[in-house]
Structure 1
């Protein structure tokens, strides 16, 4: 694939990545607040939730405005939650970390749009799921649509066909097949890369469909055997979130991410059960989006978590 690696100075590149991330993080604060409530993301404009004061342009500069206003509304002087600058700072740092990972591994700049969208979507999904125990369909569907568009318009945004460093390699089944297909298409028409990218995306969505069937069957079996009320192991929003992750990163990466999320969820759920001494609701009350987000974000900024665990065990 003839995509040039990044050649810009890393300090300038990281600064712009951080600045862009903090701007997107400011919008993400609106998404996290309004989307689960069914409110419009564009109307009304940003305002103080306590007095309704419309936020002016200089009051809406990520992080800096909150500091300049000392965390208070300029009209009613009521405190502005610290979660707003924290969200902006978090996404800015994540964008910078993702960019640095691509820079140091000589990967193409074409990966950034998909990685940035996935990072923002997962940060929003994790916050919404923690508070409301839902992941809005609009968030998941928008991510899948963007992944499809990137595969068609920018096939270099896929990991497949790239010379990945060891921590980001995840060859199980699909990557080996797609790598062979990628080499076969390397010296032919450019549209063949779109075909490779779409196959990679479809394999990811197929994995998500298999996960849906597996969890559906697991939920049905205990209820049939013991004639008890069906227990939900994983919500539909979680499964759609898995589909979004797989659409961006492919099936192989998603397998490792699912293993990491399951391990984190099991540890947290077990600790919670031991602490509260209540077994009921172990699965249904567990927000899974944060556990999906953590290994995915680790993949984007560092690589496969299992690779580093393996290296640590060898030492």
Structure 2
């Protein structure tokens, strides 16, 4: 396990649910001084924030912000934005329809699930490249990239898990798998660096990369599972429906090393610290190895509103930086 001592800056993006307002280019508010946002024992300070108007999300965790080689991508107020990750300045932005559910990126393209379909954009300029037909009647959508292909997994209103395989260059659908949730074969696939994770019915199943060899399985019931973070030896993720549990698993065995409850976001890891947004809106921090609580960081939204529907954390271990999306 690689353990690093770091000083972490917090980059905060706020998206608050409120009245719909005319779309304007987001303007980051810089904080050039060392303005602490947490306890003195937690080395977190806010550097800049962007505030937008209303968003079109259902309650729960949706991955509508991600990092790329070109900057920070996020979806807010029906605008997909690429911003400079150091100062928040907008590089480009483009509009989209409906609600956004998930956002992934490769070396040259951005893929967004919005309005019950997938839209692909060019990473450098935001130009729309292709768009699939609408697929209504599903409760949630997700995207992942693996082996040069784009995959969409969704849970239908008639209790089936559906996976579509696409050519990321053209948007042509190459294959489809439909599985009733109650059956053991029901699955979605989350590829990691050294293992593959599969959702099979009420189980989270790990197999060796590119193999059917089962390494371990974990009972998760009907909970949703957020995109995991893979470290050298540990797997970190949250699971739940509206309120989520934070779990740290032994990657080799699938054994739970430690578990906490009361979160509304995915998990992020930088060095030996785990971050997750608690149900009161603060950022909770834990030691990756022991699970010891290091403290909470209160981050005050730009606008007071109790109906925040979307939360996400994005870790940039290179700088290191932490982006909090509200």
Q: TM-score, normalised by structure 1?
A: 0.27
Structure number with larger C-alpha Rg: 1
Higher relative contact order (CA 8 A, sep 6+): 1
Which has a greater percent of helix? 1
Q: TM-score, normalised by structure 2?
A: 0.26
Which has a greater percent of strand? 2
